[in-house]
A = this chain, B = another copy of it.
């Protein structure tokens, strides 16, 4: 019989929660009390856009994805890697959660390549090439809690902007060899909704066929599509459980008792 792997919760917190101080504070308290090995991956929120505006750096989005020119790369490096990441870390430390703030560049945990220019030039956007799972494992075995900003780096020494949902699923998948991994996406809705206009129409279990149908009917659209593509990809690649829930349901969601739990096939 194989020895049982320890559980690891990889928890992603969306930008809208980061932007709401009360919601963020409550989330961090809940996160700090999650038992066992855990990793927090955070989005950026509107702060980056606001600071970019003040610095007269124009924000351009295509299909909900930010185009990262060089001035915008500096902004996201500052805001995601500095302002947001360090304040999350300091607040977690105050809850006696032994957080360590990291970007992909730190200890080389998530290396990327700059996205090749195709129909769209996304600029300084990183497509993940490699996750150093043994290094992340060493942090976890020391009782540290990685708090990861959605930034990567490439072989030339350039920082790159990477989608936080993608970062969360890549990190979760990389660690399935050593852990029984739960991946939890926390955001401002209670889960995947059957009716985007009814916040209580949460689908408790969503399988891939159902997802494809809801995508076809338009019930699932916009930013939810890449989030669910990432999420199903993680399930397919060995993550034990993927749950999508409201930030204030974190505790139940780590036991698949709230939000939407995905099933592959």
Residues of B contacting A82 in the complex (Cβ-Cβ under 8 angstroms): 77-83, 85-86
Query: Does A51 touch B at the CB level, under 8 Å?
Result: yes
Classify chain A's interface size. Answer: 35 or more
Query: Does A189 touch B at the CB level, under 8 Å?
Result: no
Q: How far is the CA of A4 from the CA of B250 in the complex (A)?
A: 50
Query: Does A91 touch B at the CB level, under 8 Å?
Result: yes
Residues of B contacting A90 in the complex (Cβ-Cβ under 8 angstroms): 105, 153, 157-159
Residues of B contacting A105 in the complex (Cβ-Cβ under 8 angstroms): 86, 89-90, 93, 99, 101
Residue pair A87, B159 in contact (C-beta under 8 Å): yes
Q: Given A54-B55, A78-B82, A82-B80, do A157 and B93 touch, yes or no (CB 8 Å)?
A: yes
Q: Given A54-B54, A77-B82, A83-B78, do A101 and B94 touch, yes or no (CB 8 Å)?
A: no
Determine the main DSSP class of A at the interface with B. helix
Residue pair A101, B98 in contact (C-beta under 8 Å): no
Residue pair A157, B91 in contact (C-beta under 8 Å): yes
Query: Does A245 touch B at the CB level, under 8 Å?
Result: no
Query: Does A103 touch B at the CB level, under 8 Å?
Result: yes
Q: How far is the CA of A101 from the CA of B85 in the complex (A)?
A: 12
Chain B proximity of A31: nearest CB distance (Å): 13
Chain B proximity of A1: nearest CB distance (Å): 32
Q: How far is the CA of A74 from the CA of B80 in the complex (A)?
A: 12
Interface centre among A74, A91, A93 (most CB of B within 10 A): A93
Query: Does A217 touch B at the CB level, under 8 Å?
Result: no
The residues in A between 38 and 86 inclusive whose CB is less than 8 angstroms from any CB of B are: 51, 54-56, 74, 77-83, 85-86
Residue pair A81, B77 in contact (C-beta under 8 Å): no
Query: Does A258 touch B at the CB level, under 8 Å?
Result: no
Q: Given A55-B51, A98-B107, do A86 and B157 touch, yes or no (CB 8 Å)?
A: no
Residues of B contacting A101 in the complex (Cβ-Cβ under 8 angstroms): 102-103, 105-106
Query: Does A238 touch B at the CB level, under 8 Å?
Result: no
Q: Which residues on A are within 8 Å of B, measured CB to CB?
A: 51, 54-56, 74, 77-83, 85-87, 89-95, 98-103, 105-108, 135, 138, 142, 144, 151, 153, 155-159
A-B contact pairs, 29 of them (CB 8 A): A51-B55, A54-B54, A54-B56, A74-B83, A81-B81, A81-B82, A81-B83, A81-B85, A82-B82, A82-B83, A82-B85, A86-B103, A86-B105, A86-B151, A89-B103, A89-B105, A89-B106, A89-B153, A90-B105, A90-B158, A90-B159, A93-B108, A94-B156, A95-B157, A99-B105, A99-B106, A99-B107, A101-B103, A101-B105
